Structure 1
């Protein structure tokens, strides 16, 4: 009985350091954000008095304006549009890269080497990788100069930089790797005998891909989707820098409110954003059981 008691306590002791870190750096800050979202502020002073006015300000006259969209709904629509576009592109590119590494490269050593090459961009800052697009996409950038020199255009293209295109391109550049890793990990776990059995049964390459590989990679796709969605939904640096401060997003709205010391309203916006992201994650976990991967 004493040995059984010790064995029952040991797992909790082993999990305690991680649980304390989780509590101190995630749970408590989130609780504080929720608490501050119900405080009031006046003349840049925060007053710990309970009010729901901050949430009313976030959704100021949104319901009464329907079917027209208020500023908050327009901002969320813009953010969700970027999120959907980036998710589709990163999923397509990431799946192709992961498939190539897992099934087309036969040597494990070469697989590891190519996978390491995919991680090389992460050795530099995200900001540096963002800025690297400016000399390429600017009016006097390499792309415009090449197109003009080839006679394809007469004047520089203004929409290449500080636009939705540059923001989406940068997002895909920065976050595709977050899709590659979990999908590649899922594909490595696929039993190759299943593919051989499907091929022996007369299945074509596309049938094997759609009916065998994709279903067995759903867990990795879901995990990669969660990574990409959560990062894009809360991003404000990429949209601000590559969008020329002209594109609205929820993360940028929160950043502006913080810069004006409007912490309670910023906290309310953050709570609404967190709830939105959690709903998206909940929907993904209803489709795919990611516990199989963990």
Structure 2
């Protein structure tokens, strides 16, 4: 019996050692996640239920911050400010997502299936990263001398006699906000889609072509289904960033376009932290619902 027990313990020792090793390896990442994500989120949730006035925050439970957000939203005849703001933000998000998806898929497809050498793929990837060598603010400001009333684009249009007066909607408009978003965040769509495409077996493409499939059919029936994981991951990146962005909307919209992130930034600037926290919690809930809907399309854990 003693020998059997000894053999059993000897077999369990490596398993126990691996478990301890796995926990030790996961501990730093777990602590980082808890410290920099869970703790701030819990603090934000707690503060969202506090009261405040013009000069201080009062740590007393209240639902005033949440009721103020949805004030007037029960009316059936008029849309409240909150719904209008969320609609504006979601509209920007949908347009930017569609444009970045189209550009990201096209560029990733070209890099994965038309660029033959790894060296050239690396060079072209570096070209895609060039905008990230400077800050977002500088990249946004660089559009102003191009799109302004007296900017290069308007001067070129006037010189070519294509317009009689400067085009006003090029800057400080919905167009300029979307343009800046696409410029800033298309790369976040390219990388995961390209990574997914590089994992596609090239024999599948050859088999589809041998079976008589056209180029569009190959993309629709082979490449697109096998790239869904990258599309969903890229979509999550773009959606979560755009939904919370306030700097791009403020700079490129001329401080005239409302967004949820802009409201939170203004409330923070006026030291209305409980109200800003309540808006942040609601925004987080909306973003999590969008992410949940995207993950219903593809089970990322299984695909990866």
TM-score under structure 1 length normalisation:
0.98
Once residues 303 and 246 of structure 2 are traced to their aligned partners in structure 1, the CA distance between those partners, rounded to angstroms, is 30
Unaligned runs of 5+ in 2: 1-11
Where does structure 1 differ by over 6 angstroms across 4 or more consecutive aligned residues? Answer: none
1:22 to 5, 12, 33: 33
Show the counterpart of 1:208: 218
Which residue is equivalent to 1:34? 45
Question: Matched residues in 2 for 1:11 and 1:226: separation?
Answer: 29
Q: 2:68 aligns with which of 57, 80, 92?
A: 57
C-alpha separation between the residues in 2 aligned to 1:32 and 1:123?
34
Contact residue 182 and residue 223 of structure 1 kept, 8 A: yes
Describe the superposition over 1:98-157 as per-residue Cα deviations: whole angstroms up to 9, x where unpaired: 000000111111111111111111111011000000000001100000000111111111
Is the Cα–Cα contact under 8 Å of residues 220 and 293 in structure 1 kept in the other structure? no
Q: Which residue of 1 aligns with 2:155?
A: 145
Equivalent residue, structure 2, for 1:250:
260
Alpha-carbon offset, residue 4 of structure 1:
2.1
For the pair shown, which has the larger CA radius of gyration, 1 or 2?
A: 2
* Correspondent of 1:270 among 250, 274, 280: 280
3-state SS of the aligned residue for 2:257? coil
Structure 1 residues 101 and 9: CA distance shift in structure 2, 3 A: same
Q: Count how many residue pairs are aligned between Structure 1 and Structure 2.
A: 293
- Measured in 1, the distance between the counterparts of 2:246 and 2:169 equals 20
- Secondary structure of the residue aligned to 1:202 is coil
- Separation in structure 2 between the aligned mates of residue 293 and residue 62 of structure 1, nearest angstrom: 41
- Residues 59 and 72 in structure 1, CA contact (< 8 A), matched pair in contact too: yes
Classify the secondary structure of the residue corresponding to 1:159.
helix
Residue in 2 that maps onto 1:2? 13
**What's the counterpart of residue 3 of structure 2?**
none
RMSD value over aligned CA atoms?
0.9
Q: Distance in 1 between matches of 2:256 and 2:127?
A: 34
Of the three residues 93, 109, 114, the one matched with 1:104 is 114
CA distance in 2 between counterparts of 1:174 and 1:229 reads: 13
Which one of the candidate residues 197, 220, 223 is aligned to 1:187?
Answer: 197
**Cα 1:67/1:162, change in 2 over 3 Å:** same
CA shift, 1:293, in A, is 5.1
The yes-or-no answer on 1:46 pairing with 2:57 is yes
* Aligned-residue offset at 1:67: 4.7
Partners of 1:44 and 1:79 lie apart in 2 by: 30
1:245 match: secondary structure:
coil
User: Is contact 1:62-1:70 (8 Å) kept?
Assistant: yes
TM-score, structure 2 as length reference = 0.95
